[in-house]
Amino acid sequence: MSSSEKLYELVFPTPSLSDVAGRGPILVHGLEGFSDAGRAVRQVTDHIREHNHSELIAKFNPDELVDYRSRRPAMTYSYDHFVGYDEPQLSLHAITTPEDHTFLLLSGFEPDMKWEAFAAAVTHLSAEFGVKLAIGLGSMPLNVPHTRPIRSSAHSREIELLEGFSTWPGEFKIPGSADALLEVKLAEQGFSTMGFTAHVPHYLSQSEYPAAAIRLVEDVNRISGLDIAVGELETEQRKFDAALQVQVSGNAEIGQMVEGLEKNYDEILSARESQNSLAPAEGPLPTGDELGAELEQFLMQHGDEGIDGDGPFGGTASGN
């Protein structure tokens, strides 16, 4: 057994994952951590598991991948003693939709360590199950207003997969993620890979922002034909919009900030449309330097622990 195989335990018997034509499954991977602004990735993976038939295939060992002192799990205390803790979960499931589409879903925590071994393990599993396409999910905070249609960017080494999607222009460096590494390593081993990153308004990055999750599901459906339903996410988005409207209408400072973002967004969009940019229909994209700066700021504010908060702005809605 290789070192990468020691990172996980397979569940037997494993289901058949090939379609009627004998083609292997699609792998969708989305890990919770740095690249999950608005908790978009977690919302997508939770939604997929909860609203489709889900069967566990492999479970990764958190003791091999988690730094517990930097990511301390919650302990349950009952009256006079501890009774358990929330063990970090990272697992591979076989998902079957009501329309009988089957695919693989890798979800859970982003590893703190052994990224190379983790990528090798996922590559091994992908080969074992004959994965034909791997799709990564992510979300990032950007200076965009929630009052404009939510956008996303696509990335892949295969130019034909990017047709019709927006991409980041230029070359630059940004903080890495395990999902991005999977895209690199799987492509190096000959797998078709693609990823989508939803653009989350920076002032909503600490909240669960369903619109970003919906956008990611729509992108996956568009490239894969899986037809994953989003009805429950749309219901959550309507609730979120109502709560957000209360906060914006009751706080002049927030309203002015949103108006400023709208003005900047519209000006950039107009300028890039006139220049016949790569993606005029998808809205303005930041430059590489702007993108790197915003991600660095996000890391400084929230660290690798993720994001939390109760109201749309990361706290209880008060209107003040």
Per-domain boundaries in the chain:
5-302
pLDDT digits (tens, 9 = 90+) for 143-198: 888 988 999 999 999 999 999 999 987 888 888 999 999 999 999 999 999 999 99
pLDDT given at position 88: 95
Q: Which two tokens stand for residue 267?
A: 């000006």
pLDDT given at position 6: 85
pLDDT given at position 302: 47
The DSSP letter of residue 316 is -
Alpha helices in the chain (DSSP H): 40-50, 62-65, 115-128, 178-188, 210-224, 231-249, 252-274, 288-302
Query: Which residues pair with residue 28 across a beta bridge?
Result: 105, 135
- Helix, strand, coil percentages in the chain from 3-state DSSP, rounded to 5: 40, 20, 40
What confidence tier does 11 reach under pLDDT thresholds 50, 70, 90? Answer: very high
Mean pLDDT confidence for 97-108 = 94
Q: 309 pLDDT exceeds 70?
A: no
- Contact (CB, 8 A) for 226 and 51: no
Which has the minimum average pLDDT: 30-44, 201-215, 242-256, 280-294? 280-294
159 Cβ neighbours under 8 A, 6+ residues apart = none
pLDDT given at position 20: 57
- Superfamily (CATH) of domain 5-302: PAC-like subunit (3.40.50.10900)
- Contact (CB, 8 A) for 151 and 199: yes
pLDDT given at position 290: 54
CA-wise closest residue to 161 among 192, 198, 123:
192
Mean pLDDT confidence for 31-45 = 94
Q: 278 pLDDT exceeds 50?
A: no
pLDDT given at position 60: 98
Average pLDDT score over the chain: 85
Q: 5 pLDDT exceeds 90?
A: no
- Contact (CB, 8 A) for 286 and 169: no
- Contact (CB, 8 A) for 138 and 196: yes
pLDDT digits (tens, 9 = 90+) for 248-276: 888 888 888 888 888 888 887 777 666 54
